[in-house]
Chain A
């Protein structure tokens, strides 16, 4: 397909160009950039006046509930939501059912994504069999089957010894690790930040040290084994400090934060609001500020959706029994732009953390808008607003951090490999 977008401001390394221009897309690549392309005969012309042309957003942590029960959506529904959110690539977590711990499951995910997906889907395999934390998965086999990384899917390993061996084995085959830091014995039966709100509501707490001791352990083991470690989602200020120190010491670690942790705190669970039951838990305002600062300074490389769609029933229970996680992939960019509008984060840092940051984590070339680059493209109208509301969402999970409130930034168009996979309904073209 051959199409063109006119009057757009290409975003390079997080900064929109002042000059508007045109981009011509032919056969999955940007064939030409610049003025004077209007003479070309094309199948589609898109007017991008006032809009940004971004390299497609990349999400490193997005749960696609397939294979699994059909209650929380499918690869089709959730990648459609992701494309609406401006993502062209999502990394899907290994905690599917069955767990993605064999090449058969990896192939299944890739096949379904190929057939029904609306974005690129990069599977993250399980580090241990069944994510049980005891025996190594067929790590090299999973990677060969197409897993871009192996992870713990939020489940801690049984012991530091197992973890050390996982890392050493991964290093042998140069396998990337995506690990969520949580010390299981300190987190125990907790379900909320061990702070002011949990104390009042009588909820078992997950202390900050449940994360920081795990971050420390992961950093030490990665340093010793030479493993390629990506750590997160992080939830507290001290974790940012630890990762910063590791980076300053020259370690090659990278880190991520979930969008919910940049917009909400423990206050969100007041009234036993199970929507905001998350893992890691939402912590204090000081933590939220430190996480934003971590993104700003680049200590945190990527903002992830940590999308966890769950049906209505999954949140209909007493708070500790509700399923953790939010549906965020449709609104991640807008929630970030809202923080930018609030003066809490720079536009450049936000856009880098959704494009070049995650690309670096995956070892990809820096995504850019240039001639001959792959046409994974996201067209955003930053001045327009939209309102997440029940019934108008693409995700099967109705639990968003923000509902019935106007959010800035409308994704007008998402193209993957040159194919238009999402277009804003209404005055989009």
Chain B
């Protein structure tokens, strides 16, 4: 009964119809997303920054968890595709979230929504919606629990490709709170699928999953060893709650051991890229001089975010519409 991640996300023809996770998507598809995003970057440079791909379509931003940056880039992306956008901030209540989630979404579908951009605190919530609630509405995962944040990972991939041209041969280190990071899970899968040489995780055991090798990465506990010969360093955001959960002694100790300073950066290959999904905690994960330094591409990552989101939204809508049309026998048209 439950479909694999691949079956759930793709149409019978292998087109994207939901964008839930990097897991289950192959290299060709990820490359197509990056190529499509590249073509949208040019749109952002025009005076009139709009294309009509989603004209007449309704996109609902459903954020069950607060977010400013991700939500606004999705909103901008939808508007640049000429969609009508509805933003809904729905605080999660403590009880019977499941039922209210199904009911909320069924109501929204009844308003002729074509796409849900969804962020939720529970891992697998978008899978559940795509599978059991509204399979005929394109679902874009804007972050689910600790599971995946696939658009964030794809914009990071776009940034890496812009600077490094290729993925093959690269060694990439991901530093910090992997255990609670949906961004890291998506990044590791995307990097492996796109063919990097090696993905490394650098963190203390309290911030790693119980069996970290399951994620397809090599584990290091010390920056000195983990950063040696790497081409890309991705710093993860450290949530303040981690100190309360007894996972770390203090921010200053974390900074001492895992903070990216100029000194530690020197272990990596010369010219290694420094990335961070943001927002940055200066002096906790990263030294200001590194964050603002010549190897940092942190700001470029934000601009790529809109292009990547336009790409997955237009591709998913296309797949979803083709499927609807073939289901109703209306003949095939493309968006």
* A residues adjacent to B (C-beta < 8 A): 194-205, 207, 270-275, 313, 316-322, 403
Contacts and interface: CB of A to CB of B under 8 A. Distances in A.
23 contacts: A195-B211, A195-B214, A199-B211, A199-B214, A199-B215, A201-B123, A202-B123, A202-B144, A202-B145, A202-B182, A203-B147, A271-B3, A271-B4, A272-B127, A274-B128, A318-B98, A318-B127, A319-B122, A319-B124, A320-B122, A320-B123, A321-B97, A321-B98
B99 A202 contact: no
Contacts of B200: none
Contacts of A199: 209-212, 214-215
Contacts of A313: 98-99
B5 A271 contact: yes
Contacts of B124: 201-203, 272, 318-320
Contacts of B128: 272, 274, 316-319
B122 A200 contact: no
B98 A316 contact: yes
Contacts of A270: 2, 4
B214 A273 contact: no
B23 interface: yes
A207 B127 contact: no
Contact of A200 (B3, B23, B120, B131): B23
A200 B214 contact: yes
Q: Of residues B5, B124, B147, B210, which shows the largest number of chain A Cβ atoms within 10 Å of its Cβ?
A: B124
A198 B212 CA distance: 11
Given A202-B146, A273-B2, A320-B123, A196 B211 contact: yes
Contacts of A272: 2, 123-124, 127-128
A19 B99 CA distance: 57
Contacts of B131: 271
Contact of B146 (A204, A207, A271, A316): A204
Nearest to B180: A202
Contact of B123 (A194, A207, A318): A318
A313 B212 CA distance: 34
A194 B97 contact: no
Nearest to A313: B99
Contacts of B210: 194-195, 198-199, 205, 207
Q: Of residues A205, A207, A318, which shows the largest number of chain B Cβ atoms within 10 Å of its Cβ?
A: A318
A270 B131 CA distance: 13
Interface in B7-56: 8, 23
B10 to A, nearest CB: 14
B24 to A, nearest CB: 10
Given A199-B209, A205-B210, 13 more contacts: A194-B210, A201-B147, A202-B146, A203-B123, A203-B124, A204-B146, A271-B4, A272-B123, A275-B1, A316-B102, A318-B101, A318-B120, A318-B128
Contacts of B211: 195-196, 199
B190 interface: no
A203 B212 CA distance: 13
For this complex, into which size category does the number of interface residues on chain B fall? 20 to 34
Contact of B145 (A194, A320, A403): A320
A284 to B, nearest CB: 10
A46 B101 CA distance: 53
B268 to A, nearest CB: 26
A316 B98 CA distance: 7
B107 interface: no
A101 B120 CA distance: 38
A202 B120 CA distance: 13
Given A271-B2, A273-B2, A321-B97, A200 B123 contact: no
B68 interface: no
A271 B99 CA distance: 20
B185 A203 contact: no
Contacts of A322: 98
Nearest to A208: B210
A267 B5 CA distance: 14
A202 B185 contact: yes
Interface string B89-102: 00000000111011
Contacts of B185: 200, 202
Nearest to B245: A188
A273 B1 contact: yes
A326 to B, nearest CB: 14
Nearest to B181: A202
A204 B147 CA distance: 10
B148 interface: yes
Nearest to B98: A317
Nearest to B185: A202
Contacts of A319: 122-124, 128
Interface in B206-232: 209-212, 214-215
A322 B102 CA distance: 13
Interface in B83-124: 97-99, 101-102, 120, 122-124
B132 interface: yes
Contacts of A274: 128
Nearest to B212: A199
A318 B144 CA distance: 10
B125 interface: yes
Nearest to A200: B214
Nearest to A188: B245
Given A272-B128, A273-B1, A321-B97, A202 B102 contact: no
